[in-house]
Amino acid sequence: MELAFFDAYKAGVFVAASAGNSGPGASTTDHLSGWVTTVAASTQKRSFESTLTVSSTDGTQTVLKGISITQGLSPELPVVLASAPPYSNPTCEVPAPPGIFVGKIVACQRSPGRIMKGFNVKQGGAAGMILYNNPAADALSDNHWLPTVHLADGTAFLNYVAAHPGIKAKFTQGEKVIGTGDVMTSFSSRGPGGQFIKPDITAPGAQILAGQTPVLDDAAGGPPGQYFMAIAGTSMSSPHIAGSAILEKAAHLDFTPGQIKSSLMTTATTNVKKENGTTPADPFDLGAGRVQVNLAANPGLTFDETADRLFALGNDPVNAVQINLPSVNAPVMPGKLTAVRTAKNVTNKTQTYRVETTSPAGSSITVSPAIFTVAPGKTATINITIKSSAPKAQYFGEVRLKPLSSSVPALHLPVAFIPQQGDVKVTQACSPASLTLLQNSTCTVTATNGTFNDTTADFTTTSTLNLPIVGASGATVVNPFKAEKKNAALAGAIAGTPSIAPGTIAGYIPLDLFGGTLVAPVGDEDLTTFNVPPFKYNGVEYTALTIDSNGYLYPGSDDSNENNNCCDISPIPNPAKPNNVLAPFWTDLDGTGATGLLVNVLTDGVATWIVVEWRVNDFGTTNGRTFQVWLGSGGAQDIAFSYDFATIASLPSGQDLVVGAENEAGTGGQGLPVNTLPTTDLYVTSTDPVPGASTSYTVTVKGLFPGSGRVTTSVVTPAVPGATVVSTDIGVTLKFNRIGT
C-alpha cells in the first residue's frame, strides 16, 4: 500500500490516509511514509445530545447528558448492569441468553465493538442500552440496534447506581446541539512512528454525517436500511484532508503533492486539546494541527520534496531529518542537530519573514537566518538547530515564520526530539573534577562504534577560559582552548551468527499438558511481546521476546517499526527487517479461528526453558500448523525448533516457506532452502558477537583562575545525526594555608 501511495505521489497525486483508530496509546499510528499525509481525528462542534434521567425507588434522581442519534426511551424502565449475574459480561461482548433482559435497559462498558454491544444485549430482549466510558473518553453517535445513549464519563452514573436501590431510567431522542470542537478523539492513533512526526495533521473525525449502505454483511455495522449515519473514525477525518487538497489544487494548479501537504500543515491551528478536553495536544496527537482550508489557500511559502529523495532517505535514521518536510523529527538528538529546510515563495510579491521558536526547558531551538527575504518564485534556506542537555525524554517545540506582510498567514513547523546518543557512544571523564589554582585535570574521551558498519569520527574538545588545554595524548592541541582528533577509524561490530542443524531439546510436547500455560489469541499479521526469564541468542541476553503470527519470533520488544511484522517471506539471511529472527515455520499464517499462541516456562529440575507454541492456520484456510521454539533460560544459549510433524507435512498453498535463524544485522545466519519442509527438529547454535571498535584520547587542562569551568567534546560521525555532545564541569578554587600567631 505504501509503495502504491509512493507511485501516486511521484505521479503528482496527493494521498491522504487515516492514522488509524487504535489510539490513544503511543506508537499506534499507521502510514509512516513521508509521501503520505497521515490524518488524525478530532472533534467538531456538531453533536447529537440526549438527556438521560436515572431515578431510584428512594425518590432521588440524577440527570446526565450523553450522545445519541437513536430514538429515545420513555417511560422509565429498570436498569441492569451488564456486569451483574447472570450475564456477568460488563462489556457486552457475547450475545445475551434469550429473555434475560426483557423490558430492561442494559448498561454496558465501552470497549471495541460499540455497535455489537447493543446487538448482543438485544438478543436477550433488552429494550435499550446505556453505553458508558470508563475511563472518560469521547462519546460517539452510532447507528445502534436499539435505543442507546452514550456517556462520555460513566463515573457519575456508576456511583449513583451503586448508592441507590431500584434503579430506573429514561432518555430522550438525540437532538442536534453545539458541542465542543477541536478535541482529539480517544480512538485516534498516535505517534511516534517511523522517522517523521506522524500523524501529519488532524481533521474532524467524530459525528460526521456520511453515507451508509442500507445492506450490511455484518451486524457490527448497525441495523440495515440506514442510508446515512453520524460516523466516527479517522476514515472520516482523512476525507476532510483529501477534500481540502482538492480545493488547494484548484487554487494552485501547479502545486505538487508536497506543496499541498505543506500548505495544509503549516497553516493548521494548534489550539486543540487532548481527549480529556483540557491538556493541550502535542504533535504526536495532531501533527501540525487541525486543518484551516481558508488559510491554506494562500500559504505564502511552501516546503516540497522529491519522491526519489523521500524514498532514498525516508527510512534512513541518520539523514531522514534532512528531508524537506514542514516538520522536524529527531528521535536521536545527540546534543546538537541542524535540520535544513528550503521554502519557496508561491506569491507574486517579495516576502520577508521573521522567525520565532518555542523550545522546552533545558533545550533550545534556533533558526538561521532569523529574518529572511525571498523573491516571488524563489527559495530561501533556513537552518533549524536543536540543542539540549535535558534528560532523555520526548520533547516538542515549534518554529514559527511570521510575515511582515498581512497578505499571507503566519506559518509553523512542529519539532519533536529525544536527547539521546546514537549508535556511536561517547563518554568523557575528567579527574580530578575539582582543582585548586594551577592544578591539572586529565579528561579521557572515548567513542565506541555500536553499528555493524565501519565508520569514522571527528572529535573537537573545547574548554572555558579558566581551563586552558595544556596538553593532549592521541589528539592535537589547536589552541589553548581547543583540541581535535580527525578522521578516527571505528570498525563496526560483528553480530553473533546462528546456524541450524538436526537436533532437539525435548521434541514436541503440547504445552496445554502443563499448568500455567498462557494462551494468547492472535489474528492475522499480529505481533505480541512477552516479558520472559533471561535467555541468550547470538551472544546477547534478552528478557523479552516478540512473536509474530506468521511463524517467527525475535528477541526483545516490538520497536513499533511496521517492517518487523512481515508476510513478505524473505530468504535467511536478509538485511531487510525483520532481523534477528528465529523462524521455525515462516509463511503467511493466521490465528483467526485457531488456538493462537501458547507460552510457558518448563523445567526438568536442572534446566529451564521458555517454550513458545504456534497453533495457527495457513491464511485463508483451516489448515492448521503446530510448532514450537524452545529457549534455554539462565545459562548458555540452548535453542531448538520442535514440530508436530503431522501438521507440517505439506507446503503452504500459494505462499513461500522459510525455516531458519538470522543475526541482528541480517547479514548472517542459516536457513533451509526456501519452500523446504523440516523433517526433523532443528537445533540452533551461534557464534559470539564482536563489539565495535573504540578510540580514546586525553586532554589535560589547567585551573588558571577560580570559578566553574567546563570541558566539552563534540563528535561528528556519518553513523549518527548531528553532533554528539558531552560535557564535564570542573571547579577551580583558591587554596589558602592558615598562618598561626
Between the CA of residue 522 and those of 420, 511, 616, 701, 727, what are the distances in Å?
Answer: 35, 17, 9, 61, 48
Residues 129 and 76 in one domain: yes
Q: What is the 3-state secondary structure (H, E, C) of 354-377?
A: EEEEECCCCEEEEEECCEEEECCC
Q: What is the dihedral sign for C-alpha 476, 479, 480, 482?
A: negative
**Within a domain: residue 564?**
yes
Q: Domain of 195? A: 2-42+185-205+233-298
**Within a domain: residue 213?**
no
**Within a domain: residue 739?**
no
**Within a domain: residue 528?**
yes
Helix (H, G, I), strand (E, B) or coil at 116: helix
Between the CA of residue 346 and those of 35, 329, 377, 650, what are the distances in Å?
Answer: 21, 25, 6, 62
**Within a domain: residue 657?**
yes
Q: What is the 3-state secondary structure (H, E, C) of 291-317?
A: CCHHHHCCCCEEECCCHHHHHHHCCCC
Residues in the chain: 741
Neighbours of 408 (CB within 10 A): 21
Residues 466 and 379 in one domain: no
**Residue 73 sits in a domain of what CATH number?**
3.50.30.30
Residues 710 and 586 in one domain: no
Residues 428 and 414 in one domain: no
- List 151's β-bridge partners, or say none: 132
**Within a domain: residue 227?**
no
Last residue of a domain, one of 419, 434, 460: 419
Residues 269 and 325 in one domain: no
Q: What is the pLDDT of residues 220-277, one digit of tens each?
A: 888 998 898 888 899 999 999 999 999 999 999 999 999 999 999 999 999 999 998 8
Nearest Cα to 582, choosing from 551, 544, 536, 557? Answer: 551
Between the CA of residue 134 and those of 91, 154, 168, 190, 265, what are the distances in Å?
Answer: 11, 6, 21, 20, 34
| 10-residue mean pLDDT series, the chain (741 residues) | 95 97 92 97 93 96 95 95 96 96 97 94 97 90 94 95 96 92 95 96 93 86 87 94 97 97 98 94 98 97 97 94 98 97 97 98 97 97 97 97 96 98 97 94 97 96 96 97 97 96 96 93 90 96 95 82 61 90 96 94 95 96 96 96 97 93 94 96 96 97 94 97 97 72 50
The pLDDT of residue 230? 84
Using CA atoms, how far apart are residues 211 and 690, in angstroms rounded to an integer?
60
The pLDDT of residue 557? 84
- List 590's β-bridge partners, or say none: 524, 617
The pLDDT of residue 566? 61
Residues 610 and 633 in one domain: yes
Helix (H, G, I), strand (E, B) or coil at 60: coil
**Within a domain: residue 741?**
no
Residues 698 and 674 in one domain: no
Residues 472 and 574 in one domain: no
Query: Which residue is associated with the grid cell 523550545?
Result: 359
**Residue 726 sits in a domain of what CATH number?**
2.60.40.10
**Within a domain: residue 223?**
no
Q: What is the pLDDT of residues 630-650, one digit of tens each?
A: 999 999 999 999 999 999 999
Number of domains in the chain: 5
Strand (E) positions, 346-449? 351-358, 363-368, 371-374, 379-388, 395-403, 411-419, 424-431, 434-436, 440-449
Residues 276 and 358 in one domain: no
The pLDDT of residue 567? 56
Residues 467 and 550 in one domain: no
Q: Is the pTM of this model over 0.85?
A: yes
Residues 25 and 106 in one domain: no
The pLDDT of residue 560? 46
Neighbours of 312 (CB within 10 A): 13
451-485 per-residue burial string, b: 16 or more CB within 10 A, e: under 16: bbeebbbebbbbbbebbbbeebeebebeeebebeb
Q: What are phi and psi of 236, to 5 degrees?
A: -95, -35
Residues 602 and 525 in one domain: yes
